[in-house]
Chain A
Amino acid sequence: MNKLIEIKSVSKLYDKGLVRALENIDLTLEVGKSYALMGSSGCGKSTLLNIIGSLDEASSGEVYYDGKTIKEIKNLTLFRREFIGFVFQFHHLIPVLTLRENIEAALLPNTKITKDERESRTFELLEKLNITHRSNSYSANVSGGERQRAAIARALINTPKLLLADEPTGNVDSLTAQSILETMFQSAKENNTTMLIATHDHDIAKMADVLIKMKDGKIISITHA
């Protein structure tokens, strides 16, 4: 078993301990596998994703990334950029940037990449996600599906080791959702990316290698396909 992420006894408390969002979570994510995280609203899916994605801190417990805890990672910005790709439920594109610029923005901090390489990688993903014709449009002027595709492209452009997606198809129609998911799964497979998707959708769960069910901040079952 090739571990990418190991979560040990992670808990998250809010409001001075009055709200327990996560309780003693133990989970291991393997390299190249896809995981579907299911559960009702408020069960702690997004909180768990945020903690794994280093966007939030656990109240107790540890998350190990390739064997290192978050405290042992020297450059957290670089780590976030190269290790993790995040797809949010509401695309979260920058409104004053075009779709192309939004995707390119995730590559900007990487000074090792030349402008030409940056542009070619951006166009490659635009093409792959079928939004080339919208590359110079602002997010306000494109459809929900196209926005979400751009958000996925932004998450994939750094070829992260871990792709975290928080209900990526929550705001698109079923056809678009199917197409988006196929692209995500295909890209993840090509790059041997580990994928963790929080979702309510049972169809997505069927596509994943592992199904994790959560309830009241706890993992209640882990089912391998």
Chain B
Amino acid sequence: MFKIVFSYAFRNILRMRLRSLFTILSIILIISLYTVLSSIGVSFTNQIDSLIAKQDVDIALQAKFASTPIASIIQEETINKILKYDEIKSTESIFIERKQLENDTSVFLLGLSDFDTFSQRFGFNLIDGRSLDKTKKELVIGEKMAKVLNLDIGAKFQLEDNEEYLIVGIYSSWLNFLNSGLIIDIKTAQTLVQKPGKVNSLFISLKDPTQATVVIKKLNKEFPKLKAIRGNQFPNSLGPIKSVFFFSKIISILTLIIATAVLLNTFIMAINERTKEVGILSAIGWSQGMIISVFFIEALLLSFSGGLIGFISAYPIMDILQNNFASIYMYLPESPNISMLFDLFLMCFGISLVSILFPILYTLKIKIAKAIRNE
């Protein structure tokens, strides 16, 4: 039975060659776009997961209503009060500020209390040179800054009048905008922008990590303008990460809707044109399930072939992206995530089912005699 039903479905696709071709092409486009964007999302998520795994701070503290880490400011007196907490073992802080340079350009100043710990925790990879010596006037610059300003290790960089700093290393960060910055000792950074003692984020390690919840409650109560969260929640609380996740979800949902709309449009037309056929099949004793299965096989053939070619097409697209943009977007993967193939098949199955059910159930409600008269 399956052989005839399958060949019937297959021949129907061939019968409407041009329409089938355009449907498959549309699905190829949609699925390749979905694959590329989702692979970037998956790669990004994996990087965030690895960052979270690296976190060994118990509490992260930021200004409550700051939209980005740069907009967050924690005053020196607040830090001093927090440092008096008995539960605290140690703290580290980060200070980010935009610094205007002489030649009308600006860079991000990243003042870190400890370069080695931060680079390990937040994915600042030292790709060349060495880390900072706090006692000397030294800088580690972002790879984009190095490229744009044509700077290299050993070069001197002037941040203030008559104040030259030696470039000792080049880093690369997964957050694109930070690659246009430079890392410097936190106290020097605060002095350079005349904000002594102020930091953007404070990271706290506790003597007893099991007390984290209690200390978070205590901090949030004592400092209502600040927001204390668990250290491993910090990367996900960052604005750009939230945006990427949000964007990724929106793209996935939009792709699903567009793919369903394309296939639904094809099947509304196909089933409408074949109302008479549906009537004949009902008249000769085909069950509704059998009739639905014919259209479902057609939809599966179209969506699966489009989906598979779309997935394969994502390889060259990602290769082009990787070759041209990988230096900017660190989280661009080299190829699509193969584990997505199963999700894609599930997606194709779902959109096929949704695309045929509405038009075929509508047609099956038509009286057989009326359906047969349909031309």
* Interface of A toward B, CB cutoff 8 Å: 50, 53-57, 77-78, 80-82, 86, 88, 92, 94-97, 101, 104-106, 108-111, 154-155, 158
Contact = CB atoms under 8 A, between A and B. Distances in A.
Contacts of A55: 279, 283, 367-369, 372
Interface in B254-289: 276-277, 279-288
Interface stretch (B5-13, B92-100, B103-111, B186-194): B5-13
Identify the interface centre among B7, B284, B286, B368: most chain A CB within 10 Å of its CB. B284
Given A92-B276, A96-B15, A97-B8, A105 B284 contact: yes
Interface size class of B (residues with CB under 8 A): 20 to 34
Contacts of B14: 96
A96 B12 CA distance: 7
A94 B290 CA distance: 15
The secondary structure that dominates the B interface is: helix
A81 B286 CA distance: 8
Identify the interface centre among A82, A96, A101: most chain B CB within 10 Å of its CB. A96
Contacts, number: 73
A95 B288 CA distance: 20
Interface string B1-45: 100110110011011000000000000000000000000000000
Contacts of B286: 77, 105, 108-109
A57 B367 contact: yes
A155 to B, nearest CB: 8
A27 to B, nearest CB: 18
A49 B333 CA distance: 66
B361 to A, nearest CB: 16
A86 B284 contact: yes
A108 B7 CA distance: 14
B367 A158 contact: no
B285 A77 contact: yes
Given A94-B280, A109-B286, 10 more contacts: A55-B367, A55-B368, A80-B284, A88-B372, A92-B372, A94-B8, A97-B4, A97-B11, A109-B285, A109-B290
